[in-house]
Amino acid sequence: MAADRRPEDMKRITTPELADAFIEEQIKDLKAQIGDKKVLLALSGGVDSSVVAAMLIRAIGDQLVCVHVNHGLLRKGEPEQVIEVFRNQMKANLIYVDATDRFLDKLAGVTDPETKRKIIGGEFIEVFAEEARKLDGIEFLAQGTIWPDILESEAGIKAHHNAGGLPEDMKFELVEPVKILFKDEVRVVGERLGLPANMVYRQPFPGPGLGVRCPGAITRDRLEAVRESDAILREEFAKNGLEGKVWQYFTVVPDFKSTGVRDGKRTFDWPCIIRAINTTDVMEVTVEHLSDELIDHLVTRIIKEVPGINRVLFDYTPKPPATVEYE
Ligand code: XMP
């Protein structure tokens, strides 16, 4: 039977060989636990849920049902990558739900950050539960719980967001195949399971997604400006060897406008703020200083390619006093 807790003497999984041994043992345990029953997984495309999906596809194939909820706040190309990797390449049983309109309609006019978070979290559970209700014979719910989640919830630092939230009548047995792993181990295991490097080594991305990078009331046009500028920033970081080196980097488009000029005409558009930070524990972060050339190039691309932006700013503030995200 799979270990419920990380054994004290467990060797850190740092090599392909150790990852392969872990995968082999997990698959044996998963087969024994699940038998011929069906498993449901909310697949966000983040590292943990992706690795859990890949592991379960190996172990039980199409007894796994993955649900990918697109809340409209994902980064450019993310839903497409989830479909390409899991449905097309790994032949997963994947239900894709484009719930963009539902989320954005509920969020319309909502300015308070915590209310926005609650709406996004609550709506997510609702969409997921609706999909689950359409399915027959699901007995298990798979989750990408990892070892730090368990340690942090035991220490009372944060409630680990497991089955929590699903309606009372939906009771599933949990399947948590990476729960004794640290994040770096999950990445090594994911690579050995054939997931693309840009999926397993991706930077942290908050659950409320681009919603917290579109401060105040989210509008579709400003959200699109966040998504497009973020895509440019990620592309340039990758080209300049900064992907995988800088801990987290993104853009924010605040809800105010300033005067500019383009083609001899007055403009009144948003600024785009670039944030790039390094940290080990996210309690304290330092700012990654970019070269003048890169900054100039980012400014040129963003003002040229992103509609609605007429100014680009760089955030030089460490945490504390600033937080990483803007809300
Ligand atoms: P802050 O802004 O608190 O962010 O300094 C610290 C780290 O946590 C991420 N973050 C979140 N992740 N849900 C998440 O899953 C959230 O609501 C959330 N808020 C912040 C943030 O991206 C950073 O890595």
Residues of the chain with pLDDT under 70: 1-2, 159-164
Distance 248 CA to ligand 1 centre (A): 11
Q: Strand, coil or helix: what is 99?
A: coil
Distance 182 CA to ligand 1 centre (A): 18
Specify the pTM: 0.94
Question: Is residue 208 lining ligand 1, measured as CB closer than 6 Å?
Answer: yes
Whose alpha carbon is nearest atom 23 of ligand 1?
324
Distance of CA 159 to the CA centre of its chain: 18
Inter-CA distances, 230 with 40, 92, 221, 296, Å: 31, 29, 14, 16
Rg of the chain, C-alpha, whole Å: 21
14 and 188 Cβ atoms separated by less than 8 Å? yes
Distance 177 CA to ligand 1 centre (A): 24
Whose alpha carbon is nearest atom 10 of ligand 1?
206
Question: Is residue 284 lining ligand 1, measured as CB closer than 6 Å?
Answer: no
pLDDT at 268: 98
Six-digit token string for 308: 């609605």
Atom number, ligand 1, closest to the C-alpha of residue 248:
24
Distance 277 CA to ligand 1 centre (A): 13
Atom number, ligand 1, closest to the C-alpha of residue 326:
2
Distance 208 CA to ligand 1 centre (A): 9
Residue with tokens 């419920």: 4
SS (H, E, C) the chain: CCCCCCCCCCCCCCCHHHHHHHHHHHHHHHHHHHCCCEEEEECCCCHHHHHHHHHHHHHHHHHEEEEEEECCCCCCCHHHHHHHHHHHHCCCEEEEEECHHHHHHHHCCCCCHHHHHHHHHHHHHHHHHHHHHCCCCEEEEECCCCHHHHHHHHCCCCCCCCCCCCCCCCCCEEECCCCCCCHHHHHHHHHHCCCCHHHHCCCCCCCCHHHHHCCCCCCHHHHHHHHHHHHHHHHHHHHCCCCCCCCEEEEECCCCCEEEEECCEEEEEEEEEEEEEECCCCCCEEECCCCHHHHHHHHHHHHHHCCCEEEEEECCCCECCCCCCCC
Pocket test of ligand 1: the residue of 73, 324, 326, 327 to mutate, having most ligand atoms within 8 Å of its CB, is 324
149-164 pLDDT, tens per residue? 999 888 887 766 555 6
pLDDT at 87: 97
Nearest one of 199, 216, 288, 200 to 249, comparing CA atoms: 288
Strand 248-252 relative to strand 258-262: parallel, antiparallel, unpaired?
A: unpaired
pLDDT at 162: 56
Distance 25 CA to ligand 1 centre (A): 33
91-144 pLDDT, tens per residue? 999 999 999 999 999 999 999 999 999 999 999 999 999 999 999 999 999 999
- What is the DSSP annotation of 12-44? P--SHHHHHHHHHHHHHHHHHHHTT-EEEEE--
Question: Is residue 44 lining ligand 1, measured as CB closer than 6 Å?
Answer: no
Distance 319 CA to ligand 1 centre (A): 12
Question: Is residue 323 lining ligand 1, measured as CB closer than 6 Å?
Answer: yes
Q: How far apart are CA 323 and CA 108, in angstroms?
A: 25
pLDDT at 156: 80
Question: Is residue 251 lining ligand 1, measured as CB closer than 6 Å?
Answer: no
